[in-house]
Structure 1
Amino acid sequence: MDSSFNKKLTQYEPVDDSFSSKELERSYWFVLHKRALHNLAIAVLLVIDVMLIGYALSGFVTYLVTGQPREEAAVLAIAQRLNISHVEKQKSSAALPLAFGDGRIYIFDAGDDRYDFAVEVQNPNKEWYVLLSYQYEIPDAEPTPTKTMYVLPGEKKFLTILGEKREGQTVNEAQLKITNEMWSRIDPHQVADVPAFIASHAAFELINPIYTVAGQVTDAGVAQETGNRITFGLKNNSSYNFWNVPVQIILLRGGSLEGIEETQVRELKTGETRGVDVRNYVKNQIVDDVQVLPSVDIFDSSVYMQQ
């Protein structure tokens, strides 16, 4: 046997255009250190992950220490400026807070030592609704009874206490006190498009609203003598029958709120139009526009009559 086969290979000479000697050395080095390079890459990624997590944790801790107290203080300052107080709140941080417009507390003399209290509220959320418990506090007097009211996603309405008896008292000032605030998120698996769901279920139409002041002669030539009269028709344009539809009647003069009445339209079926006739005995009330805010909890199955 030729002894040249026992000699150590010290140099590689390619016979074609494949790997060069340098390329072969680099490939050999990579194969030899492949595991070490793999471990190094994992170590670098771990270091980056630790840095990112540390940054996020530091931001969260900073928010808890400084940001959250400032945010709560700002919310409290706004509430105080709007003459609104919260005693107990159960609310997800994902839900936006209620909007109270300019925060004005409306107080109307309803006659016979009775007063109406109201403040406008709107729910800016698309998937969250809230059940509120509230009352009005009156300086140097007992507060009103507590009332519970829901506000649906996107809904605007008034938090009212109507016909509150205050014998021998003159009420010119009050503060809204929210005693409980329970938020619930609508399950997206059950209702994928909440605004569309609301539009199709709460499809009510106001027809021919008329305000007739006491003593005014109507078109029929008859004097209105039994208090101020508000009449209108309410049509159910949805495909659903409702046991009861609560309605707020907004009385305006030149765009400014002059009073609020509330009533309920019972057993309003799909396609049906129901006439509504409401009276009040407020003296010197001048109204040039009537708006109606139907408000039924369409997410509560018990409000629906069987088809």
Structure 2
Amino acid sequence: MRLPRSSRRVLLLALALDALGEPPTAVHPVAWMGSFLGRARRAWRAVTPGAQLLEGGAGWAAGAALAAGAGTLAGRLPWPLQAAVLKTLLSRRALFAAAGEVCAALEAGNLPGARRLLSWHLVSRDTSDLTAGEVAAAVIESVSENLSDSVVAPTVAYRLGGLPLAAAYRLTNTADAMWGYRTPPLEFAGKVAARADDLLNLLPARVTAGCAVLACVPARLDGAGAWRAWRRDARLTSSPNAGHPMGVFAGALGVRLEKRGVYALNAAGREATVDDVRRALRLARWTLAFAVPLLLVPLPRWPGAGQRQGAGRA
């Protein structure tokens, strides 16, 4: 699919509009996706693994198709309105704001508050007994991973397939966040959505990691350490993608990012602090400064595409 020339204008305006914050929940497409996925889960009745796999897979496929269809309709709007729709599929400001709230609580010495905010905004794990260092590390992990999932990935999807693919990606990522757990009710029902999310994030996670390594220079962080940690630790997470940006951030900051009993990235690094969260946010902003121009590069035209388009217009 070759996108119209206005696609780069749409993307730039969407990123600019993101600075205004999120629209009300009642008119937010991602909130609608969450409502659909919640209703789909409540409707599940299968009890065997195979039937659960089919039921969950059908729910994800229906949601992705509906999202892509809505994206197709939105793609017929004037380009400024398309940008407004695309903005709702990104969450750069929301991510940085959430990290900033946890950081402010840590700086104020309010560890219970920081734990609560971390659980509310950024992670699904139990945060009730995390140390201040573990809270800081979890924020850094979330910033690095969600920089890919919530900003770079929907942008890549838009550049490759317009609003239909961007909307289908956001539905898939939301389904993975809601269903992608290895618990008895979700182990099989959420598997299709989780694997689809893995596939759609293969390229964005690596683009994010590569741009983060380059961003170490203007962010005044350890680029060589970021590269080494990326090469060494990217495969230590259960996700085939999360370890790439997380490993880079761990190496760049010189900190250990650990989820108890699951992984430890840059294991020889020191304990994270609230200052490291601030530095991670600086690295994230510089990473986007490298990623956005890269994602605005015109896509190559397939051989013969120009002849076919010319013949059609004639």
Please classify the TM superposition score into its range, dividing by the shorter chain length. Answer: under 0.3
Q: 1 or 2, which has the higher strand percentage?
A: 1
TM value normalised by structure 2: 0.21
Normalised by the length of structure 1, the TM-score is: 0.22
Q: Which has the larger radius of gyration?
A: 1
Q: Which has the higher contact order (CA 8 A, sep 6+)?
A: 2
**Which has more helix, going by share of residues?**
2
